[in-house]
Amino acid sequence: MSTNGELVASIEALLAEAKSYNEEQPDRVVRAKMLGMVEALHYRLESPAEAMFRQLTNYSETSAVRTLRQMGVLDKIPRQEPITAKQLAIVTGKNEEVLSRLMRILTSTGILKSHGADTFSHTPLSLAYLDTPEVEFWDLCVDEIAPVAYSLPGYMTTHKPDSILNPRLSPYSWANNSEGKVFYEVLLDHPDRLKRFNTAMTTQENALPVLGMFPFASLLDKSADHDRPFIVDVAGGKGQSLLQIKKELEAAGGDMGRGRVILQDRKAVLDAVPDEQLLGIEKMIIDFFEPQPVKNAQIYYLRRIMHNWQDAECLTILHNIASAMAPDSRLLIGEMVVPEKPEGVDKTVYWMDLCMLIIGGKERSQKEFSELLDSAGLRLVKIWRQMVGSQTVIECLLK
């Protein structure tokens, strides 16, 4: 088939998918497939120079959105009708020309709609910056991480090659004049930034799936020992994941009273959660860099902890859990897994890995997880994957 024939075939394949696609009730898998086909066509048709300058479009778009949000301009655009830049300048007290120039960047990428003559209106994309909780995490990345990312060349030229793998010498610590402290210790020095981080993490956690991957209910009949701990959520925060798991098990007819259900974290985190929100769940203060106090639990659960740390720190965390496990105990790790090669349209795992590199953490591939687990005396049994996206539950046993 000629090159042009391959292009036509790709377009026809996309058209075939579109004919059966229901926009009102979209199927997530089909939608992701179609977006992948559109993206592949885009990459195929654009020139190398266009691809290079698309990066400039991306940063210009991000800068324009953040500026308009911070100035309160997006809030002043009517929800149902257009408004001129002149009218916006009057109600916001900002410069009309500057507003127009920032907003037309966003009309070029479909975030705002242009009606000509410096007149603009909202789209579902712009409203997302006003109505969705995910924008808290977006703000955090743009304000805290992106400036450090742009200074990364300066970090690389002033540090030894392996320094970036030391969480106490991370680019974030360096950029905040706090080398010697890990990311979380830097935040403790800035209560306003710590509060913002915690808010953003709560919305991010809620957006990522806990269920629908590993079949927790399948373990209900594996132990009849009422005295044995059933599940230990290590560094489980406010118990948001554990509550979902508990609900799924109870819906499947499981008796959660037959084994201890334990939420572990630092004292300040646990003290902030009212006991009535954790009925049937035991709180336990721990430091996961110290030996695990609960022995022989059926399940040890780590969700979105490993990616916060480099390999050396993760190895300590894993060793402490492995030392507490019984031969039939399972360690379940909820994390994204980097594909062996880029696939699909979900780029989350890649930009998240850059974020983690900056603050002292790491997203890992299956090979990297397997090697890390092996070093801790564990073996990777299976990766339970989300239907769309990179989120997984990694099932592990003692070697």
What pLDDT band is residue 3 in, cutting at 50, 70 and 90? low
Contacts with 192 (C-beta within 8 Å, 6 or more apart), sequence order? none
The C-alpha torsion from 193 through 194 and 195 to 196, rounded to 10°, is 50
Whether residue 307 lies in the annotated active site:
yes
Is it the case that residue 130 has pLDDT exceeding 60? Answer: yes
pLDDT recorded at residue 326? 96
In this structure, of 22-26, 140-144, 147-151, 318-322, the range with the lowest mean pLDDT score is 22-26
What pLDDT band is residue 389 in, cutting at 50, 70 and 90? confident
Quote the number of domains for the chain. 3
Q: The domain that contains 244 carries what CATH number?
A: 3.40.50.150
The C-alpha torsion from 369 through 374 and 376 to 382, rounded to 10°, is 60
> Given its phi and psi angles, is residue 348 left (phi above 0), alpha (psi -120 to 50 degrees) or beta?
alpha
Burial class (CB in 10 A: 0-12, 13-18, 19+), 312: exposed
Do 237 and 154 fall into the same domain?
no
Q: Which two tokens stand for residue 299?
A: 């399940």
How far, in Å, are 83, 201, 280, 339 from residue 265 at the CA level?
49, 16, 17, 30
Do 22 and 162 fall into the same domain?
no
Q: Of these residues, 42, 190, 226, 307, which one is catalytic? A: 307
What pLDDT band is residue 221 in, cutting at 50, 70 and 90? low
Do 145 and 259 fall into the same domain?
no
| pLDDT, mean of residues 171-180 | 97
- Domain end, chosen from 106, 130, 154, is at 130
Q: The domain that contains 74 carries what CATH number?
A: 1.10.10.10
Cα separation, 398 vs 295, in Å, equals 14
Is it the case that residue 83 has pLDDT exceeding 70? Answer: yes
Cα separation, 154 vs 223, in Å, equals 55
What pLDDT band is residue 158 in, cutting at 50, 70 and 90? very high
Burial class (CB in 10 A: 0-12, 13-18, 19+), 196: middle
Is it the case that residue 325 has pLDDT exceeding 70? Answer: yes
Do 229 and 310 fall into the same domain?
yes
Do 351 and 319 fall into the same domain?
yes
- Domain end, chosen from 206, 227, 261, is at 206
What is the model's pTM? 0.90
Do 108 and 180 fall into the same domain?
no
